[in-house]
Every structure is written in structure tokens, then in C-alpha cells.
């Protein structure tokens, strides 16, 4: 049986649906019981638990031979900090996995994770990786670039920016490179490992950097997304210094925007830093590791973006 932490998130939701069709036995760890519909509709067990609360995990991994750890945050809110969720949460889950004698641990990290990273998001992802690697449990770590698909937060933010007004605001010069990967291809990689126990063994104690077949700048991502949406607007590059100075007023701006029916995405210093760092790996990373060529970004967008035209 697989224990999934983060099964109600973007990737987790897609994975749960796929696992439900493949006949896997799964138990979903539920921080918010109200979100259990996805797991229950797939015919899976649910168990209340929060990775940041070690006591809540007691006994929840009993009978599970594998843990799939997808839980994470991209923005800190209240006591849900990067350190608490990524590092402490992973430590709690690993400790409980050891207690339950789990045989295999899968962790979803991020491309660029490093102990030397300036961004806390990437630094704490690296901390979590180290906890997994030194646990003594055979593991696989995925380090994907952007994962795109129905419901992904990055695309939803970009769509909101595109729809705000007559021009599309872009932080900085928009030259930072990313490597979007379709969520269906991510799941294909995952299922290549978990389709049978012999494959799990072959992928044990390995870390994979994953991305789509293209290196695209932020400008190119915006252009492709606008095309898929059937939108044709000019872009306006805004100096980062101006955006950073306006951050204290962003909450007011979102409030004003809501009065006019406009959803203005929140932005943090951390997110601005990440938008200025190339997030790419080998274009052939998926083909080399899993034997297939993933979709291009434009091909993926056709599957989950509805045109306004």
C-alpha cells in the first residue's frame, strides 16, 4: 500500500486519479478532511494527519510499504513556513516511516534545490532531500522544473495577470528560462517506477532532474499561454525595483481589484527572486531516464487551456 502526503494538491490530485485507474492500494493523509473527496472517489483510504504535527502521524503509516511525499508550499502563510513544512514536516514523515518499517520513500523536490540557495523555498527543499537521503530507507527524488496542467498554481497566476487589463505586466526583462513539463508526463515518469516492485528497486536511491523538451523564457511562456487562451495583448516590462517597492501596497491593490471583479495575484519577495533564476536542466532528461519524449508546452496547453476566442 502507498501512503500519499499531499494527495489533494495539484500534482497529488492528478496522481490519485491515475492510481485509482491502475488498481493501486492507497491511503491518503488528510490535513483537511473536507478535501477528502478526490481520494474517496478513487476508492482509497483516508487518514487524518498533518506532516507538521508528529503526533498526528502516529500509526497512520502502519501497513504501508511505500510513502509518496508530495506535500509542500510555494508561499509562506502564518505558521506554515518553508522550514516547518518542507524540513520539519519531512523529518516527521521520515521518522514515522522508519517506525512503520516502510520499505520505500518517494519525495517531490524542486529543480534548483540547494543548501546554498538564496531562496528559502529551494534551501528547505534541499534540507528535506538530505533528510530523505540519510534516512536509511531506499528513496527516489524528483526535481522537476515547472509542472503544468489543469489546476496548477503557476498557470492560474499567469492567466490572472493576462486578464487584469489591456497590457500584461511582466516582472523584469522576462528573460529567465524555465522548462515546463506537462503533469501527465510527470505521472508517466512516476508510474514507470511504481508499476511493479522490480522497477522500484531499479530507481531506488536516485535523484532525477526533470523538465519538458524546451527551455523557454518567461516571455515565451506568456506568449504561448496567450495564444492558447486566444488573447492578443501587448506586454509591459516592469523594473523589479518598482515591484519590490510596491509590495507593501499589494494587499490594498488586491482589495481594490476585487471591487472591480479583477483578481490580482499575490506576489512575494521570494517569488520575485525565483522568477529571476533560470530553472532548467537537460532537455532530454525525461527521455534519458524514462524512455519517452515529453510534450512541448504548446502541446500541453491545448489539453487544459480554453481559448477565449
pLDDT for the residue numbered 258 = 44
Domains 2-144 and 153-176+215-278+298-304 share a fold: no
Tell me the CATH class for 2-144. Answer: alpha beta
- As a whole number, mean pLDDT of residues 11-23 equals 93
Q: Just give the CATH number of 153-176+215-278+298-304.
A: 3.90.25
Domain segments of the chain: what residues?
A: 2-144, 153-176+215-278+298-304
pLDDT of 55 strictly over 90 = yes
CA–CA distance, 104 with 88 (Å, rounded to integer): 19
pLDDT for the residue numbered 35 = 80
120-133 vs 89-99: helix axis angle to the nearest 10? 10
Q: What are the tens digits of pLDDT across the range 65-122?
A: 999 999 999 989 999 999 999 999 999 999 999 999 999 999 999 999 999 999 999 9
pLDDT of 136 strictly over 50 = yes
pLDDT confidence band for 264 (50 / 70 / 90) = low
- As a whole number, mean pLDDT of residues 182-198 equals 88
Q: What is the reported pTM? A: 0.91
CA–CA distance, 42 with 31 (Å, rounded to integer): 18
pLDDT of 124 strictly over 60 = yes
Amino acid at each position: 500500500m502507498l501512503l500519499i502526503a499531499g494527495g489533494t494538491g495539484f500534482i497529488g490530485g492528478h496522481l490519485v486519479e491515475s492510481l485509482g485507474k491502475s488498481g493501486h492500494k492507497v491511503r491518503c493523509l488528510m490535513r483537511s478532511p473536507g478535501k477528502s473527496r478526490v481520494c474517496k472517489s478513487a476508492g482509497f483510504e483516508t487518514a487524518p494527519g498533518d506532516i507538521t504535527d508528529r503526533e498526528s502521524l502516529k500509526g497512520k503509516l502502519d501497513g504501508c510499504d511505500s510513502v509518496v511525499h508530495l506535500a509542500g508550499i510555494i508561499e509562506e502563510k502564518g505558521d506554515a513556513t518553508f522550514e516547518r513544512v518542507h524540513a520539519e514536516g519531512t523529518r516527521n514523515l521520515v521518522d514515522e516511516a522508519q517506525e512503520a518499517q516502510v520499505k520505500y520513500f518517494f519525495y517531490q523536490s524542486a529543480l534548483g534545490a540547494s543548501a546554498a540557495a538564496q531562496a528559502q523555498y529551494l534551501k528547505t527543499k534541499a534540507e528535506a532531500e538530505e533528510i530523505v537521503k540519510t534516512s536509511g530507507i531506499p528513496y527516489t527524488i524528483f526535481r522537476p522544473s515547472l509542472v503544468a496542467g489543469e489546476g496548477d498554481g503557476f498557470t492560474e497566476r499567469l492567466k490572472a495577470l493576462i486578464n487584469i487589463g489591456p497590457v500584461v505586466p511582466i516582472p523584469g526583462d522576462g528573460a529567465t528560462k524555465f522548462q515546463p513539463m506537462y503533469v501527465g508526463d510527470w505521472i508517466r515518469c512516476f508510474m514507470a517506477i511504481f508499476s511493479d516492485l522490480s522497477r522500484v528497486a531499479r530507481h531506488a536511491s536516485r535523484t532525477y532532474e526533470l523538465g519538458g523538451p524546451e527551455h523557454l523564457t518567461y516571455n515565451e511562456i506568456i506568449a504561448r499561454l496567450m495564444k492558447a487562451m486566444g488573447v492578443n495583448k501587448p506586454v509591459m516590462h516592469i523594473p523589479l525595483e518598482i515591484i519590490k517597492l510596491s509590495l507593501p501596497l499589494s494587499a490594498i491593490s488586491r482589495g481594490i481589484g476585487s471591487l472591480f471583479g479583477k483578481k490580482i495575484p499575490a506576489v512575494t519577495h521570494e517569488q520575485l527572486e525565483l522568477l529571476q533564476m533560470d530553472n532548467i536542466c537537460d532537455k532530454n532528461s525525461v527521455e534519458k531516464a524514462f524512455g519517452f519524449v515529453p510534450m512541448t508546452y504548446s502541446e500541453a496547453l491545448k489539453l487544459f487551456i480554453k481559448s477565449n476566442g
